[in-house]
Amino acid sequence: MLIVLTSVKGSPGVTTFTVALAANWPVAVRRVVVECDPAGGDFGQRFGLAPSPGLLSLAAAARQSIEANAVWNHTQVLADGLPVVLGPAGGPQARAALSTLIPAGSPLRRAAREPGVVMFADCGRMDAGSPAEPMIREADALLLISGTHSDELAHLAARLQELGRIAARPCLVLAGRGHPTKEVERELGVPVMARIPYDPAAATSLTGHAIPGRARKGGLTRVAVGVARILAAGRSSIEAPESAVGQHVPGVPPQRVPPYGVRIAPELHNAAREVALPGEEVSP
């Protein structure tokens, strides 16, 4: 299973929520977080990890024929046991590695389709022409994370139609303080799957900067737990995930596609609102 997380503007916490989601996945599977950010990775600096193994060493190995499970030879492990494939800090190196690992048939893409594997791809900011775009096209679920201030929402609105065309199951996740959720839904014409509250204590812990005496539990973690449960449950209800484009959840009427072209999976939207939205912390 492939879950892609990305944004279209600024830094709304894609990397932080990727770690939170993977760390709180409710099913016993092999999890792996992969830094597919074309601008370069952050895990190495945040968690004090060595530059290799990682995306660069995997790309070098992929120049020859290797098995999909070879991806695990290029992971490092965070303190809680979560395997990660580190992206290089430099953008040019990251883009070069992605050009090798993103095409269909690469070990990275095949690993995401291995039985019992869930891959969380942190694709950073999705600029036009990003080399990570093929990951979005193949994702079983795309979590599009956006801040809720006016400038962030303006960029989001400009990209909705494009992302609706390339992603099979896009889900909008709002982050932080700003315009209320209902107002965003009304203005964009797109339902919100969840809202990540402003939670600096949990965020610092999840990004390798733990605050002494403070647990990593909080609103951010609670939302990650809820979203993870919904995505894990939704995975088994979709037939032929390898070609999910154009399909809908059995038993749920196909949702009318809004002008922006974004198709939100109805069962994800409705259930996630119950676990995430009631406790949202936003400013009017």
Q: Which domains does the chain have, with CATH numbers?
A: 2-279 (3.40.50.300)
- The helix/strand/coil state of 233 is helix
- What is the tens place of the pLDDT at every residue in 187-201? 888 888 999 988 777
What pTM was estimated for this model as a whole? Answer: 0.79
pLDDT at 207: 62
DSSP per-residue string spanning 16-52: HHHHHHHHT--S-SEEEEEE--TT---HHHHHT--S-
Burial-class residue 51 by CB neighbours within 10 Å (0-12, 13-18, 19+).
middle
- What is the tens place of the pLDDT at every residue in 141-183? 999 999 998 888 888 888 887 777 777 778 899 998 889 999 9
User: And the tokens for 81?
Assistant: 């046991």
User: And the tokens for 277?
Assistant: 């939205």
The span from the CA of 184 to the CA of 174, in Å, is 9
pLDDT at 216: 54
The span from the CA of 142 to the CA of 193, in Å, is 11
User: And the tokens for 41?
Assistant: 């990775």
- 139 Rama class: left (phi>0) / alpha (psi -120 to 50) / beta: beta
Q: Are 259 and 189 in contact (CB under 8 A)?
A: yes
**Any idea what the Cα angle at residue 87 is, between residues 44 and 63, rounded to 5°?**
135
Residues in the chain: 284
Orientation angle between helical segments 181-188 and 150-166, nearest 10 degrees: 50
Report the half-sphere exposure of 271 (CA within 13 A, side-chain side).
14
Identity of residue 100: T
pLDDT at 267: 38
pLDDT in tens, the chain (284 residues): 999 999 988 778 899 999 999 999 998 899 999 999 999 998 888 888 898 999 999 999 988 888 878 899 999 998 778 999 999 999 999 999 999 998 888 888 899 999 999 999 999 988 878 888 888 888 999 999 999 988 888 888 888 877 777 777 788 999 988 899 999 888 888 888 999 988 777 767 666 555 444 445 678 888 999 999 989 887 432 222 332 223 333 333 344 444 444 443 333 344 444 444 434 443 43
Identity of residue 137: R
Q: Do β-strands 83-85 and 76-77 pair in parallel, antiparallel, or remain unpaired?
A: antiparallel
